[in-house]
Structures are given as structure tokens and as C-alpha cells.
A and B are shown apart, each in its own frame.
Chain A
């Protein structure tokens, strides 16, 4: 019992030290929700936000499987940075139903420079937590997350 507790403590300590670059911790919920999306397909998309005061990446929004790509792009704020994961379903030329998990680093030109810097430096550390991302996309304005861009990156 005591050993498992100390194990957990050690794990969280390691997690904090590993993120020395920007000092952002990753909330456990982030990884949990991502695994649910990947394995059980309970969400269409997840939007993550960095809470500067708590120095953590937390889950901001979850999208139902029924929601569309437009709902997803509408949930990204126009002036602030976010990380997002989207499960994209499409049909290939050979008529196979396929899906790809996209990681989108949303960093609009109109956001504050400080915000862009924090998101950019924490991105690699955060991505490593989410095991199973197939395509990564960086978007700086709404045209770069257009549906045609996603479709072309999916194949």
C-alpha cells in the first residue's frame, strides 16, 4: 500500500521535472479523455487549454460523436491558442471507411505573443502524453483548418 503510494508520488514528481522547459504540468484528465476517444470513440473532439495560473494543460471542451467538423471549428476561439484532438472519419478511393486522429495546434495570428510562446514550448511535451496521434497540423488562421485541408492531410 505504502509502496504504491510512493510510486504514485514519484511518478508525479517525474512528470513535473520533465516539463522544465515551460513549467506546464499535464492534468491526468487530458490523457484519460484521449484514451477514451481512441479506444471507445466516446468523443468526436477534445479541446485543451493551458491554465496559466494553475500551470496546467486541462480539458476545456468535449465534442459528442454526432457533432460535425463545423461544430469543432466553431469551438476554437478566434483570438486565443488551444490544442485540439479531432477524430476524422472519411472514405478512401477503394471505398474503405477509415479514421485518422488529428492533433491540431491552434495558434491564430491575432492571439497574444505570450500565449503563442507558451503553447509552442509546451506542445512537444504534451503531444508525448497523447500516444496514438496520427497527423499533426499547425493552424494560424481559419483557412488553415478548412475541411479541404483536413481531407488532403488525411490520406
Chain B
């Protein structure tokens, strides 16, 4: 039996040049954001408490809680909106296809009966408002000609909807945006709450939708939000300005002061719960807290910067004021949480992966530390029980395809021909040493007892490295897909495209072939020695894993065929008594060496998209990572 113990969540997926929208719960301190096809619910009080909703078929863009906190509406790039329950296992209420293109923002009406969604429609509708339970259209929105980036519902009467976007109206000096303000139908209907008056009167509702265009910005308007009491709304734009408007009439009443203002595009804005302050996040790598004065202007109260590496990854693309927490998200995916009451305190930084976590490593000396790496070159250190502990900053951020770690050293290879060895002390990486081995490395392994010896396999052969010197390059004559070197460096096993395992003994700098084992019926994808070196296990692309005895080279456990897709990774438990395999079919299966393969523990749906990294931290805990950019720790209870 297995149970999820901890989840180290992924961070919101970000894109250069666009802001992201995160939203908070009206009832608790949970925030919602999206990564890939998942919607993540993160509890700000307990960042290890993460729930993931993974039912979208397309990458999700924005998610929002309903005003009563019971439902969440989430939207994706195909224009579909899914409404599901917060409790009860995320039961789906309804799914609607709302727009024909990507949905950029979504808002519930204050009574929770209507939803307005805006985004990119193909020429026709850019904004649509509909009833939350039936999907019937409520109101026509005209006037936009380009992508609508944000929309907002006025929370009090008289109701309004404000939308903003990328429109440009062909003015002579190239003015590029418009702000459309609509009188919402609720205002005109006699009784709005029962909703019936709306459906009874579809004819006049279209005609009676006067719209006001506000053209005060000179660049894309990225975000628009009403104050909690509905008296004003603030729009922020790529022209570095923020403008306050009256909530009822739409007249401009003031701006965010330009002295000490932002020096870059402002991507997002959020009001404080009392409506007296606003938080803005900008590409100039700072977030500012503004005091809203009586005359509708804003004055900077505080500038917040997040500690960062200083590159473009520090640009801030999203923000949220959730009760006492100020949450700011950077382009690199770091979520910084400031306290609203103590603005001087250093923020809590949470980070994680944004992309597929392709490998995992647990250090033998300290099994509580887990290192995970993703192909974009990010290496993150996690501590079991605490969560995010830091990123390993490397001097050159090349992409990582293969990754191996021992006590004080990391060896990585990317998509070029180089293999890098980086010494690590604490969180800092020293100067890396690289060696060009002539062709792209396919697989990498270190002899654990003598880590300066490394075996790198390439398309047609292997290279033995001592330190960073290639001591020999051997062309083996067959297409190599996986390799492993024994911890003492005396033996190497190379697996080929045809499923054959070749065992070589290493003497000095040469390899002599000892045996060829033929049992796999697909290309070998992973080979691992057991910690006590008496056995080794191999997995192939035909979803089968086999455990062999090292000395006799006989099959020890077979029929491990319970996966339904290729096996991506394999890990041994520290006492060599069980083996875990992770596959593209999103499952992790743990087999006991002494029992037949049919008595296995299966963890279904461990990672949406496939499991790519696996490691054991102790006898009863398995850590897995996958395509959904999350790292999960599972506790196994013996049956």
C-alpha cells in the first residue's frame, strides 16, 4: 500500500512578455495557479499542502474560486472552461466551450451566478459572459478587435464589467489600446437576482449595452481590477502607467504617481482587502505597494524587491494580495510571499520546477536532501519535511539531459557534446570543468565508490572519463541506449537498441566483453546496480523490467510486465530488497525481490504525463518526479 506523503509543487508556468494571473480563495489562504495542464491549489499557510487538478486536455491558463469558495472555474488554451468543486475530489460540475481561442482571464460575478471569460477568439468573440450552471450566453460584447487580456466584474451595484486588451484603433500616432466598459445587463433588468429576468428579455439586452471606450493608455493594458467596494478600478499597462477610473461612470480620476513609479511594464495589480492600497508587479523586477489617496491618485508606499540572481528571471509577472499575504511571482517561477503587516520582513521564497523534471538524485550521506533537475538546466534542492530549500546556481546554465550526483560533485550533460563536472559546496557551485567527447551523450553513470571514474555512452559507443579526461573512447559497433558502471568501477553494462545487455569488465582503460544477455524485447532504457552490488536491474521500452543476479548473470525476477508503456526510470531501495520502476504510463510500481512479480504495489497516476525520475530516500519512502514538474514523496506500508 502506498500513500502520498509530500508534494513539492511546480511553479506557475510563465512566458516572457506576458503577465500571469493568480487568484486567491475568498474563504481561506489558498491560491490558485496553473502549470501545463494542471491547476495547482497552494495553501499559503502550509506551502507543503498542495492539491493538483489535472483534468484539462489542454494547457490551463487561469483558475478562479467562486465567491462562496465552493467551486473553481478554470480555463485553458482551447477556450474551454471547466467548473469543478473545491471539495469532494474535484467533482466536475460542467464544462463549456466558451471561446474559440485561448482564454486569458475569467471572473465570477459577485453573486456567483455568472462568469465572464475573455481572451482570443478567432475574429469574432473575444469576451463572453454566461450562466455558471447552464452555459447560456448572457450579454453581447462588441468593440474589441484584438486579444482581451483581462476583465473584471464590479463587486457592487450598479454592476459593470470592464475589459482591457491589446486593441489598437489605427490612430495616426499609433495609439495601441482601448479599454471597453460595458453597462452590464444586470443594471437594466428590474430584478437581477433571480436570473429569470435576464433570460426573459434577450432582445433588448443586446441593444441596451452601451459601451464606453477609454483610451488613456498608450500600450497593451495588461490587467484591470475593481477595488473591493466597487468605487474605483485600476488599469495597468505596458506603458508603465496605472490609471484610476471611477467605478460607476468610467471617468478617469487619477493615476499612479510617476515619481518613484515603475520603470518597466506593469503586468499585474491587486487591491488590498480594505481597498486603501494596491500592489503592482512589474518587469523592472520590483513590486510596489501604493497608498490610494482620496482624490484617486496613488502614492508609492513601499517598493519590494525579491532576492534573485539578477537576470531576466527576476522580472515580476504576477501578484496577489491575499489577506495578510502579498504574493509575487517572477518570470523564473519564484513565488515570494511578503507579509502585508510587516513589509520590512524578508519574504518567504518558494520555487520549484516549471518543466518536466527529468532526473532525481538522493545523496547517500544525507538522505533527506533530494536534488532534482529539469531539461531547462534548473537544479533544485529539496529537504524532506521542509520542501524547497534552494536552487543550485551554476555559472553556465546550459540545458541538462543526463544528471548524476555524488557527495560533492555533480556531473551533467546536455544536448551538445560536452560533459560538465561541477563541484558543489552547500548551495554554491564551483567552477565547472567540461570535456567535449565528440558526440551527444546518451547516458551517464558514476562509479559511486570512486567518483572520478565516469562512463558516458554515446550513440555508437562509450567513453570512460577519469576526472575530465577521456581515457578511452570505444566504438562498440551497436546502437547504445543505456549504460551503467558498477560502484567499484570494475564492470560496465551497456544496453543496446536491440534489447541486448552487454557486460564488460574494465581493466585499466579497456573494456573486454564478458557476456551478452538477451531477454529484453525492446530497446534497453535504464540499467541500475543494486546498492549491495549483488544484483542489477534493467528496464526496456517494451515496458518490461528484469532483475539479474550479478555473479551468475541469471534472471532473478522476471515477468515484471505490469506497466503499459515504456519504463523511464528505475531505483533500488537502500537495503536492496525492493525495486521501483516508473513509466510513461504515469504509474510507479514497486516490486519486492523475494516475492513473485504479481504481488506488487502500484501507485497509479503519480505524475500526469509520465514518471521520469525515481529514488528511494529510505526503506519505506519513494520519491518520484515527472512531466508535471512536481516532485512527490510516497510512503510505503508493507502489506
Contact = CB atoms under 8 A, between A and B. Distances in A.
Contacts of B559: 141-143
A146 interface: yes
B482 to A, nearest CB: 22
A141 B563 CA distance: 12
By size class, the interface of chain A is under 10
Interface in B274-331: none
Interface in A90-141: 109-110, 141
A121 B39 CA distance: 50
A147 B598 contact: yes
Contact of A109 (B521, B562, B597, B598): B521
Interface in B517-567: 521, 559, 561-562
A146 B521 CA distance: 21
Interface string B591-614: 000000110000000000000000
Contacts of A142: 559, 561, 597-598
A147 B562 CA distance: 13
B329 to A, nearest CB: 44
B79 to A, nearest CB: 38
A143 B598 CA distance: 7
A143 B562 contact: yes
Looking at chain A's contact residues, the main secondary structure is loop
Looking at chain B's contact residues, the main secondary structure is loop
Contacts of A110: 521
A70 B318 CA distance: 59
Contacts of A109: 521
Contacts of A143: 559, 561-562, 597-598
A75 to B, nearest CB: 16
A141 B597 CA distance: 13
Interface in B476-491: none
Nearest to A148: B598
Nearest to A73: B598
Nearest to B561: A143
B561 A146 contact: no
Contacts of A141: 559, 561
A141 B598 CA distance: 12
Contacts of A147: 598
A56 to B, nearest CB: 31
Contacts of B521: 109-110
Nearest to B562: A143
A21 B559 CA distance: 34
Most central of A110, A142, A143, A147 by chain B CB within 10 Å: A143
B565 to A, nearest CB: 14
A69 to B, nearest CB: 10
Contacts of B561: 141-143
A134 B416 CA distance: 59
A146 B562 CA distance: 10
A36 B189 CA distance: 80
Contacts of A146: 598
A145 to B, nearest CB: 10
A147 B596 CA distance: 13
Contacts of B597: 142-143
A96 B353 CA distance: 52
B232 to A, nearest CB: 61
Nearest to B596: A70
A54 to B, nearest CB: 32
Most central of B562, B597, B598 by chain A CB within 10 Å: B598
A147 B598 CA distance: 9
Nearest to A140: B561
A131 to B, nearest CB: 32
A39 to B, nearest CB: 32
B272 to A, nearest CB: 55
A87 B598 CA distance: 21
Interface string B208-248: 00000000000000000000000000000000000000000
A110 B562 CA distance: 16
B561 to A, nearest CB: 5
A142 B596 CA distance: 11
B602 to A, nearest CB: 10
Contacts of B562: 143
Nearest to B542: A109
Nearest to A144: B561
A140 to B, nearest CB: 10
A150 to B, nearest CB: 12
A110 B597 CA distance: 18
A142 B598 CA distance: 9
A144 B561 CA distance: 9
B1 to A, nearest CB: 15
Interface in B347-378: none
Contacts of B598: 142-143, 146-147
A9 to B, nearest CB: 48
A101 B561 CA distance: 26
B250 to A, nearest CB: 62
A110 B558 CA distance: 14
Nearest to A142: B559
A139 B597 CA distance: 17
Nearest to A146: B598
A37 B465 CA distance: 66
A59 B597 CA distance: 29
A146 B598 CA distance: 7
B557 to A, nearest CB: 12
B556 to A, nearest CB: 16
Nearest to B519: A110
A-B CB proximity, top 4 nearest? A142-B559, A143-B561, A146-B598, A143-B562
Given A142-B559, A143-B559, 5 more contacts: A110-B521, A142-B597, A143-B597, A143-B598, A147-B598
9 contacts: A110-B521, A141-B559, A142-B559, A142-B561, A142-B598, A143-B561, A143-B597, A143-B598, A147-B598
